[in-house]
């Protein structure tokens, strides 16, 4: 998971934090725009499928500086074998966007505000 965000979204990572007593591990990923993302795993969490429409977090987005950049990123991820859940399009709220699934199945939008 860490490699997906560092390779395709230019995040930088700290060293893995491990707490063997609690069965907990995490990385903090930092992005140039000032956003941090913590990737956590615990041994006591069940692996359940992610539903597309559910309460809670349904997706998050990374902003790009042009439609062409969104198209390039979408093709880069497709070529690498990731699932494109939403082909590039202009949304009703004025964004040019595509949707890709990360390795855990989370929906990630690649967006440009047109």
Residues 39, 77 within the same domain: no
Total residue count of the chain as it appears in this document:
114
The parent domain of residue 91 ranges over 58-114
Q: Does the structure show a pLDDT above 70 at 72?
A: yes
Overall domain count for the chain = 2
Question: In the sheet where 84-90 sits, what is the strand order?
Answer: 59-63, 107-113, 95-101, 84-90
Residues 1, 31 within the same domain: yes
| pLDDT tens profile 76-93 | 999 999 999 999 999 999
Residues 38, 68 within the same domain: no
CB of 69 within 8 A of CB of 79?
no
Q: For residue 51, what pLDDT is reported?
A: 66
| pLDDT tens profile 93-108 | 999 999 999 998 999 9
Q: Assign residue 113 a region: left if phi > 0, alpha if psi is -120 to 50, beta otherwise? A: beta
Residues 62, 105 within the same domain: yes
Residues 62, 35 within the same domain: no
Residues 34, 76 within the same domain: no
Q: Is residue 49 part of a domain?
A: no
């Amino acid at each position: 998971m860490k490699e997906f965000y560092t390779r395709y979204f230019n995040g930088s990572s700290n060293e893995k934090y491990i707490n063997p007593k609690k069965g907990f591990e995490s990385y903090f990923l930092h992005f140039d725009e000032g956003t941090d993302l913590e990737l956590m795993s615990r041994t006591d969490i069940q692996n359940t499928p992610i539903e597309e429409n559910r309460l809670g977090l349904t997706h998050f987005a990374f902003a790009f500086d042009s439609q062409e950049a969104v198209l390039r990123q979408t093709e880069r991820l497709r070529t690498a074998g990731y699932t494109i859940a939403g082909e590039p399009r202009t949304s009703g709220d004025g964004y040019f966007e595509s949707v890709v699934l990360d390795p855990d199945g989370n929906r990630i939008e690649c967006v440009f505000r047109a």
